[in-house]
Amino acid sequence: MKRFGSVSLVFLALFLSLPVGAVEITDDLGVTSSFANPPQRIISLLPSLTETVCVLKQCQKLVGVDRYSNWPASIKSLPIVGGGLDPNIEAIAILKPDVVLVGKSSRTTDRLRSLGIKVLTFDVRDYRSAQLAMTKIALLLGLPDKDTELLWQNIIAQVSSIAASLPKSSQGIRVYFEVSNTPFGAGESSFIGETLSRLKVINIIPASLGPFPKLNPEFIVRENPNLIMLGYTANENLSARPGWNKIQAVSQQRICTFTAEEADVLSRPSPRIPEAAQIMANCLIAKSPK
């Protein structure tokens, strides 16, 4: 057999016969899907994935989203196909997507695949997995690797710039970030905890408790944070919680509440991380002990 360099002519011919846009993507469940060309009709069933597609400037390829996806404003005219846990399978099928992007908690992957619909599952939970999701989605969309890498570098650079702009008085303060009044908090190992660390504050919830642990309220009282961030729309007087009037953050009213739009940004591990960092930074500037 004749050879061309170290590559046989047979293998070269096979390579040249592949579609130009062909790509294989292995999702976070280890399932590999092949695409002859970049998808032109995409459905996203997770807000962070919707935002990733749009940050990559490919919003125009979205043909449907879940009920919680609400950014950017341009997607609000798209068909809503339920939620990540309870999508409307019939509505998805009618839209004839080339691929459906879902979170790891989705329970409908098998049903969609049984209809011949390609599904990619992403377990987006921290900075690293958000970066990997963006890289894989960019590859799926046929975007240059270098551009995606530069985009992520810019995201991290923005967070670093925000951290550098904070006054020294905010560094080292003890913060409790509550994600629901059950209470569940954001631990050091969560994407919220990663942002707090980059802002050089101390998270009272150690990584050993997990990313979003349910907490004994006495633990929070004992840890006595200097500042509390409520990462959800809250209309509650924290001093009415048993023993909480003794917490420094509560007695000195160093509590940050956020609008519904801000709470969305804070709760999503998407490329909008710099916006989340700026929201936290604004809280630190306004409420840190002087």
| 209 and 264 together in one domain | yes
Q: How far lies 15's CA from each of 7, 144, 191, in Å?
A: 10, 20, 41
Tokens describing residue 224: 């006595």
Q: Do residues 277 and 199 make contact, with C-beta atoms less than 8 angstroms apart?
A: yes
Q: How many CA atoms lie within 13 A of 21 on its CB side?
A: 11
Are residue 136 and residue 23 in the same domain, yes or no?
A: yes
pLDDT per residue as tens, the chain (290 positions): 334 344 443 343 343 444 556 899 999 999 999 999 999 999 999 999 999 999 999 999 999 999 999 999 999 999 999 998 899 999 999 999 999 999 999 988 999 999 999 999 999 999 999 999 999 999 999 999 999 999 999 999 999 999 999 999 999 999 999 999 999 999 999 999 999 999 999 999 999 999 999 999 999 999 999 999 999 887 789 999 999 999 999 999 999 999 999 999 999 999 999 999 999 999 999 998 87
Q: Do residues 97 and 75 both lie within one domain?
A: yes
5, part of any domain: no
Q: Which residue has the tokens 């190992």?
A: 189
112, 168: one domain: no
Structural domain includes residue 8: no
CA gap 185, 7 in Å, rounded: 56
Task: Identify the CATH number of the domain in which residue 179 sits.
Answer: 3.40.50.1980
Residue 236 shares a structural domain with residue 116: no
Looking at residue 72, what DSSP letter applies? S
For the stretch 62-70, contacts whose Cβ atoms lie closer than 8 Å and that sit 24 or more positions apart, written own/partner, are 63/95, 63/97, 64/91, 64/92, 64/95, 64/97, 69/44, 70/264
Supply the DSSP symbol for 124.
-
Whether 3 is covered by a domain: the verdict is no
pLDDT score at 20: 56
Provide the number of structural domains found in the chain.
2
Residues 202 and 105 in one domain: no
pLDDT given at position 107: 85
- Cα separation, 217 vs 224, in Å, equals 11
> Cα separation of 149 and 136, whole Å?
11
Q: Which of 121, 117, 115 is nearest to 136 (CA)?
A: 121
Q: Do 168 and 265 belong together in one domain?
A: yes
Range of the domain at 215: 152-287
- What pLDDT score does 234 carry? 77
